[in-house]
Amino acid sequence: MKKRTRVTHLPEVEVPSDNRPLVAPVFQSVKFTFDDVAETERYFEGRRAGFYYSRVSNPTLRQLETALADLQGRDACLLTGSGMAAISASLLALVKQGDHVVYFAEMYQPTRSLIRRVLGRFGVTSTLLSIDDLAGLERVLGERPTRVIVFESPTNPVLKIADIPRITELARRHGALTLLDNTLAGPHGHGGLDLDLYVHSLTKYVSGHGDVMGGAVIARAELIQQLRSDLTLLGPTLDPHAAFLMLRGLRTYFVRREVQCRGAQRIAEFLRTHAAVERVSYPGLPDDPGHALAARQMEDFGSIIRFDIVGGSPAGTKFAEALELFAIAASLGSTESLVVPPAMQQPRDLTSTQRTWSAITPGTVRLSIGVEDPEDLVADLEQALASSQT
């Protein structure tokens, strides 16, 4: 062969079966091949295992899917390029024109917009409630057939705790599916509850370092199989190298999570007694409205804290800008601590009544606690709170 041909058809390196790599390699390949047409046809007919095209499946993605499904206590998983891709692809696969969806004011704003605006354009109707209004949920489910109930727990950003057993019981009784955005609880959380689908933004705790984006849908095998054919057509595929980085992040997931939760507990206890703080929401506090429910449902209390600062949005801006160890940034779950000031999270898409349900006030601040020493973070918060009140 000429050199031009040889650099295109590179020699293969065979790894002996008793000489495995400790870390699985990245299968950074779009295409896979079989030795002959007959074996390729057997693959397409489902009569043999293998891979053909990475938009459909890839060995690196399969390893991450298997790990996440096992962690969540379910059979199967689908990976996507972002958390919103996981939510949107799931709903587009599950609902059709004329279906009805229930969702809540206390949830991620882009999810609300997806349900109301995008699904609405295709003839899907929806009802917005408060996650606290279980009587309203029961009434709506009794009045009209509902395909999916979409919710979060803890909710983002105010950390309300949904009564998941009650919601799933109502859903079962009325023939609705339940889809939980489980991002804040993590892929180890809520696995023992009777939920149909979990979605995660892997960008947060699974990645853990703020340098790679991805999403996951986790469910029993028959539901994932139902979704897989549609997701393959929609094409929100996670890149194999991103999946490799997620697998690397997953190795330290519990180490990071435990440190972050301990830090959040310490900081929440500090904030609840500070004169510049009107209210603290953190389910690990014994007097938090969701504490008892969270203690029954969750594996831990998480690393997110919400508080309302005295002086409203102007004070919140001064506070955020005075911080030295917290970055003003979106997302959460990173090794570094983050702050979202009030001006960046007002629910402008909600009516005045719905804003009351959301519990976001003009002074609401969200903190994502990283892996720094909690006492350093407390000292930084103390000086920034003092600056906010001058």
Alpha helices in 220-363 (DSSP H): 221-234, 240-251, 253-271, 291-297, 312-322, 352-358
- E strand residue ranges, the chain: 76-80, 100-104, 125-129, 148-152, 177-181, 197-201, 215-219, 277-281, 304-309, 327-328, 338-340, 364-368
Q: Are 159 and 304 in contact (CB under 8 A)?
A: yes
Peptide bond just before 347 cis, omega within 30 deg: no
C-beta neighbour count of 192 within 10 angstroms: 9
Residue 95 makes CB contacts below 8 A (sequence gap 6+) with 101, 119, 124, 147, 148
Phi/psi at 46 (5° precision): 75, 20
Written as six digits, the tokens of 12 are 């293969």
If residue 387 lies in a helix (H) or strand (E), which one and from where to where?
Answer: helix 374-388
Measured distance CA(374)–CA(352) in Å, rounded: 37
Measured distance CA(203)–CA(156) in Å, rounded: 15
Q: Are 364 and 158 in contact (CB under 8 A)?
A: yes
Active site residues: 55, 108, 181, 204
